[in-house]
Amino acid sequence: MTDQPAVQQYQDILKSAALGFLERHRCEHLSHDQQLFDRAVQHLVTDYDVLTTMAEKMVHLACSDMSAVRDRHRLDIVSSTSAHTVIIDPATGSAWSIPVSVIYERILNAPDNGRFRVAAP
């Protein structure tokens, strides 16, 4: 007989550890999601001594949770202007007004930016 609450609690701990690893290391793998996934699996296998199949399952669930949180933010077109963009989080009701100049300076014109450059036709 298995102790289902204990199993669920253990899986929640593993998923939480995977989510923490993904959040800490996602900036190292901006365009290589598979590498980040593989590193998170290896982290669970090494640090928590679980089988690779269990680690993959927990990392997959953590990736789903991370995507749900990351992808819930939306651009509020109605409230945005030509000088300010408004980002909202429908789940929390939070809203942020970000000057377009800040987006340009810190993201688009950053010296290490290669992801958002427009290629010449």
Do 10 and 58 lie in a common domain? yes
Q: What is the distance between the alpha carbons of residues 112 and 103, in angstroms, rounded to a whole number?
A: 14
pLDDT tens figures, 61-102: 999 888 877 778 889 999 999 999 999 988 888 999 999 999
Q: What is the distance between the alpha carbons of residues 29 and 67, in angstroms, rounded to a whole number?
A: 15
Q: What is the distance between the alpha carbons of residues 54 and 60, in angstroms, rounded to a whole number?
A: 10
Domain around 80: 74-108
Who has greater pLDDT, 93 or 58?
Answer: 58
The answer to whether residue 81 sits within a structural domain is yes
Do 49 and 83 lie in a common domain? no
Do 35 and 58 lie in a common domain? yes
Q: Is the dihedral of CA 29, 32, 38, 44 positive or negative?
A: positive
Do 52 and 27 lie in a common domain? yes
Do 8 and 62 lie in a common domain? yes
Whole-prediction pTM value? 0.59
Do 59 and 78 lie in a common domain? no
The answer to whether residue 20 sits within a structural domain is yes
